[in-house]
Amino acid sequence: MDTPVNTTDEDAIQALFERHLDVGLQHGAQLVVYDGTDRVIDLAGGVTGPDGSPTTPDTKHLIWSCTKPYAATCVHQLVEAGKLDYDDPVADHWPGFTRGDDAKADVTVRHVLSHQTGMPTSELDDDPSGWTDWENIVDVMETQELADPPGTTAAYHTVTFGWLVGELVRQVTETPIEEYVREHVFEPLGLEDTSIGVRDGTPEEVATVTGFEMFDRARDPGEGLVDLSPEAAAALGNDPDIRQAVIPAANGISTARDMGRFLACMANGGQIDGIRLLDPETIEQATQLQIETTDDGTLSRPMRYAMGYWRGGTVSDLFGTLSSPETFGHVGLGSIVGWVDPDADLTFAYVSNGVREESHEHAVRVNQLADAVYQIYG
């Protein structure tokens, strides 16, 4: 539902949103905010990339790790349906999982969803050429040995999260995750512009990802471009093969409108506009804090994990300086962020095509926008 808001309030947020575009923090962006189940902010501006066309609310973007909550929802639905339990060993549903290490028999579904399996990385992390072959990915996941005993270390699973979740869903449902999530999450909610990888259309229909060196600006769409290291990431994200692959942790295609609607559904106890995706009890379990650390084994910073979501309450959570510790959501490679603050009854979805250094420039732009939203609606 769209609800009219005070024009002055909306203009203040729009001015800040446009200011970020004017100074060249990214070529294009989208911002959607829900107050309860009412969509109160819906902005889009800039261009889809260097020499691109205007960014509209329907422009599709690569959302990087903001794909993870979509993938995790598949597992939460299967738990709700009684087809698995959070504390089930993964090997109970995926017989080949322990092929390379008997210690993996202790890895549970809960460990997978909360980045505690002991498999935060794999040999494929630095070899994107292997990301397009699902059977090869499964073989690597099955033969990999644990780096740490399950449940002992919080270490962000950048891409292994999605491969573990994806194959678990396939083993339980006999359906590839990109099909399962479409049928059970995207289509019911009417998320017409969302998929895991480009499933319909062409990779060129997705906004071009641009990486920026620190302090670079892009007032001219041709300026400020680098070979991402934020560099290699932009090139990777623009690779047609990667865009069309199935990477349930990192190559979701979506818009701020679709992300916002999905998260508003989670904020409203798993339903929106009469459509129920999950029960309230499942949402409560999914967003409950599972583990927190002052030094994440992958990210080397404080982190708090739920099951498929990051939790607020750290200085680096990118959910705004005014958010509550109960906030849950996710971020995507220095360019995307989506969150729900149950205490304020707010949902925030920000999508851009400009990858920035996450701890500074990206944090500044998204926290400025989040704080402006809190000051008006919080």
Q: Report the distance separating Cα 15 and Cα 377, nearest Å.
A: 16
Percent of the chain at pLDDT exceeding 70: 92
Q: Please tell me which of 25-29, 181-185, 217-221, 234-238 the model is most confident about, judged by mean pLDDT.
A: 181-185
Give pLDDT tens digits for 256-279.
Answer: 999 999 999 999 999 999 999 999
Q: Name the strand (E) or helix (H) holding 144.
A: none
Task: Enumerate the β-bridge partners of residue 355.
Answer: 211
- The domain spans of the chain are 7-377
* C-beta atoms surrounding 3 within 10 Å: 11
Average pLDDT of the chain is 92
At a CB cut-off of 8 Å and minimum separation 6, what does 59 contact?
28, 30, 44, 48, 207, 255
Nearest to 367 by CA among 354, 348, 352: 348
pLDDT at 6 over 80: no
Over residues 149-177, mean pLDDT: 98
Over residues 302-324, mean pLDDT: 95
Task: Give me the pLDDT at residue 149, please.
Answer: 98
Could you tell me where the beta strands, DSSP code E, fall in 5-69?
28-35, 38-46, 61-62
Give pLDDT tens digits for 108-135.
Answer: 999 999 999 999 999 999 899 999 999 9
Helix axes 256-267, 68-80, angle to 10 degrees: 40
Give pLDDT tens digits for 47-80.
Answer: 999 889 999 999 999 999 999 999 999 999 999 9
Task: Please state which CATH number belongs to domain 7-377.
Answer: 3.40.710.10
pLDDT at 213 over 80: no
Nearest to 372 by CA among 350, 351, 352: 350
Does residue 107 contact residue 141 with C-beta atoms inside 8 Å? no
At a CB cut-off of 8 Å and minimum separation 6, what does 252 contact?
62, 63, 64, 66, 67, 70, 194, 195, 196, 197
* Six-digit token string for 309: 């979501």
Give pLDDT tens digits for 165-188.
Answer: 999 999 999 999 999 999 999 999
Task: Give me the pLDDT at residue 224, please.
Answer: 29
* Six-digit token string for 301: 């910073």
Q: CA distances (Å), 130 to each of 125, 236, 239, in order?
A: 9, 13, 13
Given pLDDT bands bounded at 50, 70 and 90, which one contains residue 25?
confident
Task: Enumerate the β-bridge partners of residue 51.
Answer: none
* C-beta atoms surrounding 6 within 10 Å: 10
Count of residues for the chain?
A: 378
Q: Report the distance separating Cα 258 and Cα 69, nearest Å.
A: 13
